[in-house]
Amino acid sequence: MTQPYKELAIQGLWKNNPGLVQLLGLCPLLAVTNTVTNALGLGVATLLVLLGSNLVVSAVRNWVPNEIRIPIFVMIIATFVTAIQLLMNAFTYQLYLALGIFIPLIVTNCAIIGRAEAFASKNPLIPSAIDAVMMGLGFAFVLLVLGAMRELLGQGTLFDGAEALLGEWATVLRIEVFSLDHYFLLALLPPGAFIGMGLLIAGKNAIDQRQQQRQQTEKAEITRARVTGTIA
Amino acid sequence: MSFRIASSPHQHSQKTTSQLMLWVAGAALPAIAVQSYLFGYGVLIQLMLAISTAWACEALILAMRQKTILPRLRDHSALVTGLLLAVSIPPYAPWWLIIIGTAFAIIMVKQLYGGLGFNIFNPAMAAYVLLLIAFPVQMTQWLPPTTLQTYDLSLLDAVCAVFTQYSCQGYSIQQLQMGIDGMTMATPLDTARTDLTMGLTLPESFEKPIFSQGAGSGWLWLNVAWLLGGLVLIQQRVIQWRIPLSVLGSLALCSLIAWSINPDIHLSPIFQLFSGASMLAAFFIATDPVSASTTLKGRIYYGILIGVLVFCIRTYGGYPDAFAFAVLLANMAVPLIDYYTRPRTYGHKVKKGLL
């Protein structure tokens, strides 16, 4: 992978992660991450919409008048969301019911319009596609981690109801880590999502800080012992 | 005679944090005694579980934050948090309930915000709300007072009930909850509320045995004990009169107005003041020096806000008692209240403010 593409990957997956750093698309992020299956479903849907919209926006970027670019972007995004919604209705009906209003609401996910505006409308086709995939993966990754955390704490399982997304064979994926007599409702309810999200962001910042400290100590070793003149 | 030069504030209370917290814990003793007389040994077991969990969590987080452990444990704030949570939950709630609650209070609500003095929410009440939302069934299994219980519970029974949810003879909590008339009992506030939704008027509801002594059998005495402890705290100048008086005053005023309009569906002021967590919350919880308002005027507004919120939630809301929610909501309003009630600096003119 060449340098700019690598940079795009780092930006999307970690440094500028739409979920953890930009805090975009928080509404679906917090609302549907009560199980891994829901999180995965919405993550994949968002990724596909993001890929489609970034590709089209990038392809038409030279013909879109600057003044009305936002409505045009929203229409492009809405087209893809409608397509995804119909596909989910046809092939993963249970998941379609479980996610409900949050599928059409992908249109309003700021992460998608944000990428269209900030990246795809200024860059050629292939970087836009890679940016979309990386950003989408970063978003889906946060959804998955949060979903796993909440499902594990809330009902002690993982991949509960995965057959709704992946088909009948997926019932074997269901892992019962420990059995609870009483669901820990807080983890399944929205307040649990907020607390979990806060902990994830804190964790990411802690990792970044530790890395920064390590880099600083490495840099400190290189500095000269005697400095004459001004330091640039 | 020595003249020390020090910065303001010049008026000191001579008590240290540790002494203040011990006074609070000590003033709670009469009420704890009454509560364990009324509801059995379960109260004491919950207290032990809560306080040991609180100390363990506090020490763990202090170690992780690389702070000195023992001096900070000796300020006894963790003890008070554990104590307040333990007396708020049902005495025979399962053991893991109080452990989850206390751990949440100390780790998430207190230490993650920076430890004692930095938490914006009252740790015990935030944990209570967490438990109430996460485990609604376990959090409402109050037993009737001992005088109305069908089965006597020994100390061993109490231990069994807390750890296995069955007494040693094998009665489940649901069976133990039955009163002498064979009906499952809840708290007086809960009973009054349920009866109202079933179409009974309050005078009809008050004929049930749970209401046998004014504000509900037993609960009256419990509240009197908390009131006594609170008065001791005021006398010792551990807390000031402003918050308790404004909480109880506004609650009484609101309920007096409602009660005089329609006594059939509104609880009397006396019942409101001497039932549920009224006295406990007014004297011991709302007066938390960290999360309450800090200005003199602000404390009055803070107390009024809590009283009005409690009345509204008890009367129109979805829960029978409301002090935890009211205190948390008022905690959120504290920065705003403090901002608008800043005292006049000496030598400056009075500014016309909002409040």
Judged against a pLDDT cut of 80, whether residue B187 lies above it is answered with: no
Longest dimension (CA), chain B: 74
Exposed/middle/buried for residue A72 (C-beta within 10 Å: 0-12, 13-18, 19+): middle
Residues 6+ apart with CB under 8 A from B108: A195, B126
Q: Where do the domains of chain B lie?
A: 16-185, 186-341
Chain B's closest residue to A182, CA to CA, is B135
> Quick one: pLDDT band at residue B1, thresholds 50, 70, 90?
low
Q: How far apart are CA B317 and CA B186, in angstroms?
A: 18
User: Higher-confidence residue: A25 or A82?
Assistant: A82
Structure confidence at residue A22 (pLDDT)? 82
Per the structure block, which two tokens stand in for B259?
A: 């009660």
Inspect the interface and report whether the beta carbons of B134 and A184 lie closer than 8 Å: yes
- B chain contacts of residue A182, beta-carbon cutoff 8 Å: 135, 137-138
Is B135 in Cβ contact with A189 (below 8 Å)? no
DSSP codes of every residue in A111-164: HHHHHIIIIITTS-HHHHHHHHHHHHHHHHHHHHHHHHHHHHHHHSEESTTTHH
CA dist B72 and A52 (Å) reads: 56
Alpha carbon distance B217, B298 (integer Å)? 36
Tell me how far apart the alpha carbons of residues B320 and B271 are, in angstroms, rounded to a whole number.
Answer: 13
Looking at chain B, the whole-number percentage of residues with pLDDT higher than 90 is 42
Rounded to an integer, what distance in angstroms lies between the CA atom of residue B137 and that of residue B92? 12
More confident residue, B5 or A9: A9
In chain B, residues with a C-beta closer than 8 Å to the C-beta of A34 are: none
What residue segments make up the domains of chain A, in order of their start? 3-219
Closest approach of A10 to chain B, Cα-based (Å): 29
- Residue A114 one-letter amino acid: G
| Overall average pLDDT of the A143-147 stretch | 91
Neighbours of B170 (CB within 10 A): 9
What is the pLDDT averaged over residues B168-177? 73
Q: B184: which strand partners?
A: B178
3-state secondary structure B241-282: CHHHHHHHHHHHHHHHHHHHHCCCCCCCHHHHHCCCCHHHHH
Measured CA to CA, the distance from residue B42 to residue B45 in angstroms comes to 5
Q: A186 and B108 in contact by Cβ < 8 A?
A: no
Angle at B188 between CA B322 and CA B283, to 5 degrees: 45
pLDDT digits (tens, 9 = 90+) for B292-308: 998 989 999 999 999 99
Q: Which of B102-111, B199-208, B215-224, B316-325 has the highest mean pLDDT?
A: B102-111
| Alpha-carbon radius of gyration of chain B | 21
Task: Look at B135 and A195 and tell me if their CB atoms are within 8 Å.
Answer: no
Measured in degrees and rounded to the nearest 5, phi and psi for residue A175 equal -110, 125
Helix (H, G, I), strand (E, B) or coil at B198: coil
Span B298-353, pLDDT tens digits: 999 999 999 999 999 988 888 888 899 999 999 999 999 999 888 877 777 766 65
Mean pLDDT of the residues in chain B: 85
The reported pLDDT for the residue numbered A7 is 83
* Peptide bond just before B91 cis, omega within 30 deg: no
CA dihedral A135, A137, A140, A145 (to 10 degrees): -110
Residue B28 and residue B284 in contact, taking contact as beta carbons nearer than 8 Å: yes
pLDDT above 90 (res B150): no
State residue B123's pLDDT score.
94
Q: Is the pLDDT of residue A107 over 90?
A: no
What band does B248 get if pLDDT is binned at 50, 70 and 90? very high
Task: Answer whether residue B105 shows pLDDT above 70.
Answer: yes
Pairwise CA distance, residues B178 & B11, whole Å: 54
Chains A–B, number of C-beta pairs less than 8 Å apart: 16
Show residues of chain A in contact with B104, CB under 8 Å.
none
Q: Does A206 touch chain B (CB under 8 A)?
A: no
Q: Return the axis-axis angle of helices B77-88 and B95-103, rounded to nearest 10°.
A: 140
Lowest mean pLDDT among A42-51, B16-25, B114-123, B183-192: B183-192
Q: Which residues of B touch A186 (CB under 8 A)?
A: 130, 133-134
- Exposed/middle/buried for B15, CB within 10 Å: 0-12, 13-18, 19+? middle
Question: A185 CB near a chain B CB, below 8 Å?
Answer: yes
pLDDT reported for residue B148: 66
Contact residues of B toward A, CB < 8 A = 108, 130, 133-138
Distance separating alpha carbons of residues B231 and B351, to the nearest angstrom:
35
Give the mean model confidence (pLDDT) for residues B264-281.
Answer: 87
Q: State the pLDDT confidence band at B163, using cuts at 50, 70 and 90.
A: confident
Query: Which chain B positions have a beta carbon within 8 Å of A184's beta carbon?
Result: 134-135
pLDDT at B180: 59
